[in-house]
Structures are given as C-alpha cells and as structure tokens.
Structure 1
Amino acid sequence: MQSSATCPDLIDECAQVESGTPDNSAVFMVQGMRCGSCAIAIEAVLKKQANVSDAAVNFSADIAMIHWQQHKPDITLLKRAVARLGYELHTSTNPERSAQHAHKMRLQLQLRLAVAVVLGMWSMMPAILLYLAPFGAVEPEYQWALALANGLFAIPVILYSGSHFYRVGWRTLLAGAPGLDSLITLAVIAACGISIWQLNAGSHHVYFDAAVMLITFQLIARLLDSSVRRRASEVVHRYFQAIPDTVTVKNDAGEWVEQSADMIKPGQSVALHAGQQLALDGVVKSGSGQADLSLLTGEHAPQVMTAGDELLAGCTVLEGELELIITASVGERRIDRLSHSISDVLSRKTALQQLTDRIARALIPIIMVAAVFAVLLALWQGMPVAESIARGVAVLIVSCPCALSLAIPLVVTMGHSSMLQQGIVLRDPSALESAANIKVVVFDKTGTLTTAEPSVQSVQPASGVSENELLQLATHILHEAVHPTAKGLQALLGDKFVSELPGMRESIVGEGTRWHSGQGVALAGRASWLIEQGVALPPLIHSGMQLHLASQGHYKGSIYFHETVREGVAETIHTLRQRGVAVYLLSGDTQQACSELAARVGIEPSQVLFERTPEQKHRFIEALEKKAQVAFVGDGLNDGLALAGAGLGIAVGQASSATGMAAAIYLSEGVTRVPVTLELAYQSRTLMYQNLFWALAYNALVIPLALWGWIHPVIAAIAMSLSSVCVLFNSVRAAKK
C-alpha cells in the first residue's frame, strides 16, 4: 500500500510552494564551540539581541544563522555579545581554520580523558579500601590518610580534566540557558566541597571518587559525540571546492590576464576557453560554444551558448570560446545562495534532537530542586549538616543524565561501524532518526539512476552498409571528441575506438563534426545539419539522442543512444514500492528524457518531475515533507540543497565531495543499497529510543530513592555509571545488525 504522498495532486500542491521566498537571514561561522551546551548558550544570547527575530546554532557544522524581519541587526554588536561568552563569530567561512580548531579541540579532549582515566584509577584505589573498611580491611588510624590520598589523586582530574565543564556551565548559566554542564559543575563542586569539609573535620567520609567518575564518563560521551558529529562542519566549507578562484579578465590596456575571482566586479569582461570552468555568474557577450551545466542543473547533455545566454559559476565550456559580462561577484553568485540555503537547513534541529533538548531542560531544574529538597528533608529529620549535604550530592550525582547524553552518540558509533561494512557511510547521526518513518524516496536522474555517458540503443546502417562499417566510420569521425555520444561509442567499442587513419577533424558547435581525410569528407551530427550539407536522409524517427553519419555526401546510417541505467535500479525501485514506499523522479533534465527513464525503471508517470532548478527541487522536497517523511537520493553538486533539506539525504556513486558531505548518508555502491540503508537506520533509531527510555526510567527510579537517603553518594556514582553501561550494552546491538 502506498502513502497518500503518491497522489498526483500533491505534485501540484508542492509546485505552488516553489515560488516562496525565504526570510531575511545571515549565516555565520562560530569558533570555539566544544559541545552542544556551547551552541545552546550562543543561541540564547543571539535571540536576545536587537532586531533578531530568531536564531539557530548548529554545533556539528559550526554554523550560526540569524533571522530578522525588517532591520538587519548590527553585526558588530552580535560579535561582541558572542565574544562575552568566550566564542568568536565570523562572517566568512574558513575551512582550514575550522579544521585546525576541530583537530585542536579533539586532541585536548583526548588528553583530558587520558588524565582522568590514569589518575582516576589511582584515586579509586584508596577509595576501594575505604569501602572495605567496615569489613576490617583497613585499620581506623589509616582511613583518614586514605581519604586524603583519594583527594590528592583526584586533584588533576577535577582541576584539569573537568575544567571545560565548569567554563561552559558558567557561560550557559550567564546566558540564562543552564544545561548538562551546569549540572555537572554543581555536582563536582558539591562533592568536593563536602569532602574537604569532612577531611578538615577529621572524617574519612569523602566523595572525590564520585566526582572523578562523573567527569570521566562525561568526557567519554563528548569524545564519542565529537568523533561522528564534527564531520558535518565540512558541508558548507567544502561546497566551493569545485569552483576555480581565478578568471581571465581584460585589463585597462585591453590585454587578457589572470586575476583573482574575488577582485572582479559586475560589468567586467572575462574570457572562457574550451575546458575552462567559470568562477562567476555572467552573460555571454560574444562568441559561441557548448557548455556543461550539470554542476547546477544536473543535465549532462551539452548546451549551446550564444550571445545573451546566462552562464553560472561552476559551469564548464566544452567547445568554443566565450566572452562574458559578469553579473554577480563572489558572495552574490547563484552557488553562494545555494550555500546559504544549505547552512539554513543544517542549522535546524531534528525532531529527536528537539525532544532530547526538551527533556534535558525539564530534567535539570527538577534535579536541582530535588537536591535542595533532599538537604532540607534530611535537616528536618534531624541529620547532621554534613550528612544532609551528602544526601543532596547523592541526588545530584545519581540523577545526572549521563546515560541521556550517551544514548544517541553510542548508537551512532556502533551503527556506523556496521554500516561501513556494507558500503554505507554515515555522515550525519540525525539520519538514523529520520529514516525510521521514511514513506517517500525521491531520486535524482542523471548520475544517480543513470551514468553520465549514454549507451548505444541501436545501430541503423543504410542500405549496403554493414553495422561494423558504420561503427568504424563513427570511430574515425569522433576519435578524441568530448561529446557524450563519443563517450558512449567508446564505452561500446573499448579499445576498438581508435582511428589509425590520418585526417583533420572540425567541430561545429551544437551541430556535429566534420572529418577530412584521404577518403573524402565524412560527417557525424544532427539530421538537420547533414541536410544543410547536402546529404539526403531517409524518413527518421526523432526520439532521444541520435547520431547521423554521412561520407562523401552519401547517408551511411544512424546510431541511436539512450541513457545508461545503473545496474540494479529497477530491482531497487521495485523493492521500495513493495515495502509501501512511494518513489519519485525529480530532475533538471527534459520531460522526454525523464519520462523515458521512468518507464524503464518502473516509476509512475504521475510521480515524475522535470526541468527543476536546485531551488525548486528543495522547495518541492520541503512541501512533500509536510505530507510524509522524505529521503532524497542524488549525486551532483546541484543536488546539495535538496540532499541537505530532505529528512534523509543520500548521496550515491561518485558523488562530488561537496555533495557527499551535504548528504546525511553516502552509498559508494549506488542506489542498490538504499533499501538496506533504510532498514538499518530504522533499527538504529529503535535502539536510540530504547536508550532514551532507559535513561529516563533510571532517573524516575533513583531520584526518589536518593531523596529519602537510601543511596550513598559513592553508590550514586556507581549507579550513574551502571546506567551508562546499560546504555552501552544496548547500543552494541547496533554493530551486530
């Protein structure tokens, strides 16, 4: 049974949304974030600034996005506000700076964890002896010395390994958005404070080991989280790698010289030769040629460019020479707007992330109130002050949501290992959440379901000409040509696609190729062009991509091409439809090409959309997601916006680095792994919910016990650790899928 999203009326409904325009917004890069609490604090501060209507900060991508209604906020004031929290706000992205910072943060995190583990073990040794003291393992006169040793070994862990938690906890408190770090800070301070008090009073009842365990487990959680989530920061930073940074511009003396693209202003002239890629948006002033526009449109068939045609940054000239007038400089190009849109998408939080944030925000004040109540209850019961405070510390430690913070990253890490073994590369942990309810899969066409080179559909030689003779003639004419039909012939003939006959080849842009040799003149190209050259052609069926050939003025035959469908595509689509998943085809290619492919692979004609720009693809995906959970599968840079905007973005095959990073999942083996990817993601999400349930159930059970004094602070630390271990063991199941 198919989802209601398959209804043809939905296409019209989604199309109506394509004319929408986004609110005023700006993207910034944030430097200095170490965890999600940092992002929460920055987001809270930005939302309080003048003229800011909304703000969203993505720790994974180092992105901050602000929105405003009428007046743009003062950027300087925004930078100052963020700087007061200890972070830096940049108006431009710098991939190298971001990579260096991420590497530095990870090394610091590893060092802090190493100190916590090594010295924490030494701190636990005297603590274990103290636990055994009631059984006669330690004489009473040595117990205070062991408690002191417990504290001395814990000092480096508390002052160095846990220092980050204190800084972030204080910052989030100042921002009015206290989080897990604030709770950890309070628990450590309370545990250490009462321990010092006890030592000073001559008592051996200390809780340094509880603080050490708390810090150690939180560092493990942060390291696991950073190992998978920091990769997302490369999405925006890599988006411009395919674009050259120089152009050939005419100077005041009328000479053509190389110049940095960011120095060029609208109205200047630039030259573009065959094989070169454009770095800026422009309009053709003079010249003619063929250009590959697939970087932004997805259509690999060369397009004829003449005076007045628009050519965008990232497009490549295949044949001819063009002079262009620049219409958009760096920062205003079409690809800059696409990058901005991707940043907007990445700054949003998934449903499970929002749910976890809400749980944490609700749980933290409850824990703090419960700790205070535990102290007051103990005092009311007539207990000494030290023991009353110890009861409050036990509440803080035992209810600290460590398991909650481990629940998601542990499943991601284990599940990622299992996916890698099956050729599935997870780039965004949120993919494991999003895939559980996928009801619609939208495929790009060229490069995703098909290869970039067409394949020979049929060979139709003229009367008296054999098939081999026609193919040999095509080989002579198109040898070393860059046109897709030449690549299709080369794929068919392999090593035979080599011309040993000398001659001169002349390419006529948008028409065909003329070959001059000792045997005369041979032509290969459009039917209309051959007729113009005086060749009489028989009645032809005009369908798809065709190559017509003639020699010495006589028609020799035609070769028909069609797009090469990747292996296993039809079976994959059939499997998805059997599971009740609706399948769409969404492409920038022509109606005829899309309809023919849909018929070959089993996609309903009513679910085929063609000639769509990257922005239109994105808006269609957004509208579709209002009806059902959507996965978009693509491979080209023009798919980056749709990949990032879909509930589940999947890049396949030889996807460009930028597109691969924009997608949540990358499949090196192509679309055949889509069904198993959805299944594995569904299983992983189930484990995430199980972990969250266990973490919350644990807190619901232990908080009342700690309130009534039935849990000692040390037992609280052990219980807190056991809850994390239970989450760990449950998460290990993801690696066995």
Structure 2
Amino acid sequence: MYCGSCAAAVESLLKRQPGVLDAAVNFAAGTALLRWDTARTGTQKLAKVVRRLGYRLHQAPPDANSQGVDQARKKLQWRLATAVVFGMWCMMPALLVYLAPLGLVEPEATWPLALASGVFALPVITYSGSHFYRAGWRTLRMGVPGLDTLITFAVAAATLLSVWRLMQGESHVYFDAAVMLVTFQLVARLLDTNVRRKATDVIHHYLARSNGRLVTLDDGSSRKLRADEIAPGTRIIPEAGQPLSLDGYVEAGKGLVDFALMTGESEPQVVGASDQLFAGCVLIEGDLRLRVTASVGQRRLDSITRSIHSLLCRKTALQRLTDRIARVLLPTVILAALASILLAEFQGESITEALARGLGVLIISCPCALSLAIPLVIIIGYARLTNRGILLQDPAAFELAADIRVVVFDKTGTLTTDRPTIAALIPEPGWSRQTLLQLAINALQGSSHPIARGLASEGTPSLPPSIGTRSTVHGQGSWWQLGDHSVLAGRSEWLQNQGVPIQDPPDSGMSLHMALDGRYAGRIDFRERLNPEALALVQKLKASGIAVYLLSGDTRNSALKLAEHLEIPASRVMSESSPEKKLAFIENLKRYYPTAFIGDGFNDGLALSSASIGIAINSATELAQSAAAVKLTGGLSGVADIIDFARNAKRTMRQNLVWALAYNGLALPLAITGLVQPVIAAIAMSLSSICVLVNSSRLTISDTSWYSRES
C-alpha cells in the first residue's frame, strides 16, 4: 500500500463484509488483523473483496514483505525523479506565458510555449501520478474515496481543461498546476513511506530465523529438522548456548537455563524432569531431553507476537483525526467546485471561465499541506534525534511521548547490565583478596555462566581454558583439575557435599564459594551491575514531575534492592511479572496516565507495544526493538531527551494541521467566487506547503531548546 488512505479503504471495505466482526489494517506493516465468524465467511471470500481494491490478501514469507517494501520505495523514488526533472521543464515555458502581459514575450509565442508546457508535463501526469489515479478510482468505485480520489479529480480537471483551451487556440493552461500537485504529493508519500514502513520488519525477521532453525531429534539418529517441520510429541535435544525453537517439557536430564528472554529473571534457573521450557529460553549448560508441546504457530512466542501485531494496528489520535478530515474533505471540495461552476454560470461567465473557476477550487483545496503536516515533522525530527542516538520507529511517537506522565522501567538488562559486578571479596585467613579473585577467574575461564562473565569483566589476566581438566555440575558448580591440584567453584552446599568444611550460612543472592585441594578459600559476593546512567535519569524524570515505576520478572527481593538504590518507592515496584502480567499492568496504568515503558527483552514485547510509547534500549532483543516506537542506540539519558523533544514536535504538528485547515477554510470561498485563478491556486497551494515546511524546520533551529520544558 502507498498511503494511509489505502489502508483506511481496505479496512472500511473489510468491516462491511458479512461475518466480519472486526478488522484493523496497518499501513506501516502492510498487514490486516481480522476476526470473523467462520460459519459466514472465510479467507477466500475476504481475499476476493480485497482484490477488488487492487490488493492481495495472502500470507507472505517475511523476506517477501521486505522485498515488497523496497520495491514500493524504489518506484516512488523513480516517479518523484521523473516529476522533478520534467516538472522543471514544464515550469519554464509556463513562466514565460505568465510574463507575456508584461511584454517580455511576443503574443504569438504564447500558444507554442503553452503547448511545450503540456508536452513536458505529459510524463509527470501519465507516469508519476499513475498510482494516484488507480487508487483513487478503486476507492471511489468501492464507495470509500480518500485523498487519492481528490488528487485524481484535480489532475484530470487541470489536464482536460488545458487540452480544451489549447484546441481553442488559447494559451492559458494549467499543466504546471497538475505537475506541482503530483510532485508535492509524491514528496509527502515518500517521506511517509521511508519512516513508517519499518514498523514490523524485525518481527518478521525474528520469526523467520526462529522458525527455520534446525532442531536435533532425540530418536537415536541425530537427525536435524527445521523447527516448523516438527510436530507436538516429538522428542528433541536442545543445544547449549542456542535459544530454544519450540515449547516443551523436560523428560530427562538436568541443566541451567536462562529464562530472561521470556520472564526477565536475571539468574539462570536449574531445570529437571517435568519442568516447562519455552521457545526463546537459552540452555546455558547441561544435557536435556525435551518433548515438544507446541509447534510453530502455537508457541508462547507466537501468541505474544500476534498480540504485538494487534497492538501495533491501533491508531493514534492525530492519525484518526487526519482520517476523518480526509473523509470529509473530498465531498466538501467536490460540492464546492460544483457550487463555483454554478455561481459562475449564474453570473453570466462563459463555460470555460466557469470550469476554470471549478478547477481553481479543486487545486487550491488539494491537501498537500495536510499530507505534509505530520510526515515533515517526523522526518525532520527523525534526522535530529538520530544524531542523538535515538531512532524513531513509529511516527506516532512524537505525538504520544509529549503527554507522558508515567515512566515504567524493566529491570534486568535495562536498569542493570547483563554482567554482575563484585560486591565483596571475603577470603579465608591465609588468602588475599587478589589471590582469591585470580583463582576464581582461572577456575571459571570459558564458562558461559553470568558470574563467569562478571569475573571476566574485571580485566584480570587468566589462564587459557585449555589448561587443566574442567567439568561442570549443572546448577551447582565447576571442578577444575590442574596437575595435582583440585579447585572447586560453586554453591556453598555443593562444596560441603564434596567434603569442604564451610562455617558460613547458606547462600543469599549471587555468591561464588572457592576451595583448593579440599581447603575452603573464601567467597565472592556479586550484585547486579547498575546502568551508570540509571540513577541520574530517574532523578531527572522525578524532578520533572514524572512518576517512575519498576516492573520486573525478577524476584521481589532483587527488585526491591535495586528500587531502594534508585529511590523508587516500594509501592511502585512490581516483581515476578510474566509478559502477560506486564501487559495487564501497563494497560491498567495507561487508562489513567499516558505511560512510557522502557525494556530490552522478548518478555517486554507486549508491554512495549501496549504502552503509550515503548522505548527499547541498545542491547534489546530484535522483537523488543520491533515492538517499541523508539530505539536508543546511545545511553538511557535518551529517554528524557525524547520526551522533551516530543513536546516541541507535537506542538509543531498541531500548528501544521491548524495552518492546513485554516488555509483551506480561507481559500475555498475565494476560489468559489472566482477571485483565485487556477494558476494562482497552484501557487497558493505550494505556498501553503512551504509554510508547513518552514514551520517544521524550526525544530532544528535551537540545539538546546528541547532540553527545557519551559522552552
């Protein structure tokens, strides 16, 4: 689809079909979300209906969606290039015709110049504007006309009237008006397409990679099949370090699994027989045998992804307002054009003059400024924010972020990093802190456990993983044999079971206990590493009157410890939340306050897409990035920046809409009474678009105004 009015037409047509309970068409994603009564209709019937508008309803592979987007963008670029090149040549002879009354051009030369203007306009009218005509005719024929229909009427009227005048030997033609109309609309459409078509590409890519990943069967043959070829009940062997592709439960074995993608829990969990695992979880270490419980399409991952699509199909207030304006504008302009023709006839004007007056109404009312009002702010703001490390993925972000009153943070990976930091080194007598640290680093070298990653980040040199013999007891600890020496690293209970005497109480939190040759060496306590920008950001948001919440899938104790450090009240801390619980919490909070959610994991996808504005940080998973309206490639401080900047952007959007509507309100009466000729109408239409452009460009004038709410 080329524009929002195309999506509105398809959606309106689908909603009118018998048996369709609800329909939502998302222009950005090129998708239709449908609910229907299977006893009354089906996808084949609905596909025939959509085909009448010139579109196909089909389930395309993800890469085909991306290819279609690229092809559409390239076609628009070629059409715009043609319009600009031939449009300039069309304007030159037209300008000379306008200057003829001043004596700069001989009267006998004006007709050939007018003809030349028409010849140069021909490629623009026939090629560059062709898709407007197709969409305009289809939507008109189906009873759902939009902006394309109005553009079609205006261009057709300008062209036919110009040809008629040329045949009568007159040189007052309006090819240049038709060319400007097509060119400005192509600019608006290309701006809109370049920004909005990125909305769900990453979702498709993530699912394609997950569905096509090879899975090892547990049937003694070690065969591998694609995930989408495996049925429920099949036994499979997950690979360590790789995300699971299917849902299932553990039939045999034991292992350490990272659930952070689905639940947000920071610490890996030990799993065994009968434990349930989901696609997206990662087996860190261990040997498991799973029986598949849900195939591709029925997994929890698929359910969450469908919900994200549903949430992305919702329209914002400004989008709904623009749709309503477009629906009202077409019949209003057509009636106004007919009224101007009748008025001219009543005043005794010739039929040519009456038609020219009607053409002036069509041209001056064409919604170029309206079409540019929001896309221009988006594209200018997009470029501006990109320089700040903030990527806009949804044009509604500017509108929604400006009203934010509550900011909700995910914990793990957002306010904290994926590498824990050392909280305390507690060596036993005879051991130094540095020696204890060096022993731990050497013992866990090459391990994928988060504690090993935390040790590696200390920057202390270590022995290569190949030195000595290593083995792991999943969820308990690691054993390292180096010559005659034996090193144990793990939980206190495990070391005690190995005969190591430990006087300390059992573990509380993340602790690593060390022993050398059966003698206890001490312990290292870890805590989650706080994002260095988190505290300053929370303080800045609170100072500006924005309430801050913490919403995490981690344990209550872990969430409260972090909240205390960030000075977030315990009453605003929600812990042990599944993706569905996060969605419910955000939906409930959003009923009362415009709410932003900042997250990074797959388990945050529903909350990111449901919030008034979802913001994904730089390290976010692909699906979290696709569900979010904004992606931060820099630091967390971008959260405050986007809210401040959005206030200016939304104000500019409203000013542009008011200007566009006020322009039409003032210009229509003048055109109806014949005070504005078609050429002047085309110039006025261009000036209105230029005014919108100048107003939008004010976003780039000040480099510091968007840091202050008072600016």
CA distance in 2, matches of 1:502, 1:337: 46
Q: Are positions 1:648 and 2:608 aligned together? A: no
Residue type of the partner of 1:385?
I
Cα distance, 1:485 vs structure 2: 1.3
Percent identity, aligned pairs only, is 51
Partner of 2:278: 312
CA distance in 2, matches of 1:358, 1:701: 20
State the number of aligned residues: 701
Secondary structure of the structure 2 residue equivalent to 1:325: strand
Q: Are positions 1:85 and 2:75 aligned together? A: no
Q: Are positions 1:634 and 2:634 aligned together? A: no
1:177-196 equivalent positions in 2, closer than 5 A: 177-196=144-163
CA contact (8 A) 1:61 1:235 kept: no
CA distance in 2, matches of 1:64, 1:293: 32
CA distance in 2, matches of 1:688, 1:72: 43
Cα distance, 1:540 vs structure 2: 3.3
Q: Are positions 1:48 and 2:13 aligned together? A: no
Cα distance, 1:477 vs structure 2: 2.3
Structure 2 runs not aligned, ≥5 long: 703-711
CA distance in 1, matches of 2:224, 2:415: 39
Cα distance, 1:72 vs structure 2: 7.5
Q: Are positions 1:117 and 2:87 aligned together? A: no
Partner of 1:483: 449
Residue type of the partner of 2:455?
L
**Structure 1 pair 100/523, CA: closer, same or farther in 2 (3 Å)?**
same
Cα distance, 1:147 vs structure 2: 2.1
Partner of 1:345: 311
Stretch of structure 1 that moved more, 275-284 or 213-222 = 275-284
CA contact (8 A) 1:448 1:670 kept: no
1:291-311 deviation per Cα after TM superposition (whole angstroms, max 9, x unaligned): 112222222421111110111
CA distance in 2, matches of 1:75, 1:38: 20
Select 2:2's aligned residue among 3, 17, 34: 34
Partner of 1:166: 133
Select 1:677's aligned residue among 635, 639, 642: 642
CA distance in 2, matches of 1:467, 1:395: 84
1:122-142 deviation per Cα after TM superposition (whole angstroms, max 9, x unaligned): 222221122122222333333
1:317-372 deviation per Cα after TM superposition (whole angstroms, max 9, x unaligned): 11111111111111111111111111101111111111111122222221111111
Cα distance, 1:666 vs structure 2: 1.1
Cα distance, 1:519 vs structure 2: 4.5
Stretch of structure 1 that moved more, 600-609 or 133-142 = 133-142
Residue type of the partner of 1:175?
M
Secondary structure of the structure 2 residue equivalent to 1:524: strand
1:12-31 equivalent positions in 2, closer than 5 A: none
Residue type of the partner of 2:302?
D
1:578-593 equivalent positions in 2, closer than 5 A: 578-593=543-558
1:364-422 deviation per Cα after TM superposition (whole angstroms, max 9, x unaligned): 22111111111111111111111111111101100111100001111111111111111
1:48-447 equivalent positions in 2, closer than 5 A: 48-68=16-36, 71=39, 73-91=41-59, 93-240=60-207, 243=210, 245-251=213-219, 254-447=220-413
**Structure 1 pair 218/631, CA: closer, same or farther in 2 (3 Å)?**
same
Secondary structure of the structure 1 residue equivalent to 2:412: coil
Partner of 1:666: 631
1:424-456 deviation per Cα after TM superposition (whole angstroms, max 9, x unaligned): 111111101111100011111111111111100
Cα distance, 1:258 vs structure 2: 0.7
Stretch of structure 1 that moved more, 417-426 or 661-670 = 661-670
1:652-684 deviation per Cα after TM superposition (whole angstroms, max 9, x unaligned): 122233322321111112312211121112211
CA distance in 1, matches of 2:40, 2:639: 43
Cα distance, 1:499 vs structure 2: 6.2
Q: TM-score, normalised by structure 1?
A: 0.92
CA contact (8 A) 1:633 1:649 kept: yes
Secondary structure of the structure 2 residue equivalent to 1:285: strand
Cα distance, 1:275 vs structure 2: 2.6
CA contact (8 A) 2:253 2:287 kept: yes
Q: Are positions 1:532 and 2:484 aligned together? A: no
Cα distance, 1:235 vs structure 2: 3.9
CA contact (8 A) 2:111 2:170 kept: yes
Cα distance, 1:257 vs structure 2: 0.5
Find runs of 4+ consecutive structure 1 residues off by over 6 angstroms: none
Cα distance, 1:565 vs structure 2: 0.3
Residue type of the partner of 2:351?
V
CA contact (8 A) 2:533 2:635 kept: no
CA contact (8 A) 2:491 2:507 kept: no
Partner of 1:569: 534
Q: TM-score, normalised by structure 2?
A: 0.95
Residue type of the partner of 1:58?
N
CA distance in 1, matches of 2:645, 2:17: 43
**Structure 1 pair 531/123, CA: closer, same or farther in 2 (3 Å)?**
same
Secondary structure of the structure 2 residue equivalent to 1:546: strand
Partner of 1:448: 414
Cα distance, 1:242 vs structure 2: 5.8
Stretch of structure 1 that moved more, 460-469 or 400-409 = 460-469
Stretch of structure 1 that moved more, 689-698 or 513-522 = 513-522
**Structure 1 pair 308/735, CA: closer, same or farther in 2 (3 Å)?**
same
Cα distance, 1:479 vs structure 2: 2.2
Select 1:498's aligned residue among 439, 460, 463: 463
Cα distance, 1:502 vs structure 2: 4.8
Residue type of the partner of 2:92?
M
Partner of 2:571: 606
Partner of 1:17: none
CA distance in 2, matches of 1:718, 1:406: 16
**Structure 1 pair 484/215, CA: closer, same or farther in 2 (3 Å)?**
same
Cα distance, 1:521 vs structure 2: 3.0
Residue type of the partner of 2:95?
I
Residue type of the partner of 2:314?
R
CA distance in 2, matches of 1:154, 1:659: 47
**Structure 1 pair 416/297, CA: closer, same or farther in 2 (3 Å)?**
same
CA contact (8 A) 2:63 2:205 kept: no
**Structure 1 pair 394/499, CA: closer, same or farther in 2 (3 Å)?**
closer
CA distance in 1, matches of 2:49, 2:137: 15
